[in-house]
Structure 1
């Protein structure tokens, strides 16, 4: 994106879609953030619109936690754009520039940290979705389940950026840490989605719930 481009969250949906289709940035990391944010919104819909009279306080606590996660997630779309542009600028420096390798390593660190942070927030959103299940009425279970699937897909999508950039980190230890974090996040997300899916299936039509 150019320096004078509008912040991502100020774009209309159609402008965001067309910019993704035609420009180098925003890329998969920013799109993953937006997808996760929308997925979390679907989960929050179920919590906001359910009316269990005896579960108001626990439900409100989950709503508050979800709102906090959304606030933390949203800026990462723009951070992903900035991280990628900084990385490409470092790679594009003159190969004779003595500081080029250090600049690449530093930019790669940010280009790995941003997607890992995004994935961590997605994991937290999936954990919230699992906890929210008992507070969401039957008519909103499909919304929450769809939201969980969006969040899960976003998590796996953003981890592709870790795969792409970890090799440019400055040491074997840093690369190993990044890949270990990446693998743990992916595995835990899969476990959470399975639990959410099983719970949603158990509350399907005719389940008596």
Structure 2
């Protein structure tokens, strides 16, 4: 196994540890550890392709496994986001449906008469980069909120006497207030839109490799 493929395997191996830190409430600074792991996994995604192309180490195994590793990493992060209430489940379902559809087509192409391995197109690469950046941004905002550096202008708390106050009204000078949830929603909506566009483009480009009669 060459170095780019090893980096891809490492990216997959990071996923269980990322999920552990995202979901285990008893671990101190768990979101920070999760963010560091996610960034490390994202770096391997940037490196493996560049190394493979630069040193002529591109293999069919790598062309198949690299996008699969991306899907596993992103799916794990998005499911954790839903579990934590950071995003809507329907957005994640839309994104994952596209990923399953593309994976199915990729498997069908490999098992077909042409034994074709269809690499990701430019839209797929844009989708991957944007999704990774969006996940990192959302996770970073929630870390800043955990440490009291950032406050969501649309979040509410119950003050003394049961009065419902916006968090920005109780923050004083210790917070920077921005619409965290709105920003998160916009990032996820854009991710879903780019994901769908890249999926349609991939399915269109793959039509010659798929024989629906077989």
Q: Shorter-chain TM-score category?
A: 0.3 to 0.5
- Please state which structure has a larger fraction of its residues in helix: 1
Q: Could you tell me the TM-score, scaled by structure 2's length? A: 0.34
Q: Could you tell me the TM-score, scaled by structure 1's length? A: 0.34
- Please state which structure has a larger fraction of its residues in strand: 2
Q: Which has the higher contact order (CA 8 A, sep 6+)?
A: 1
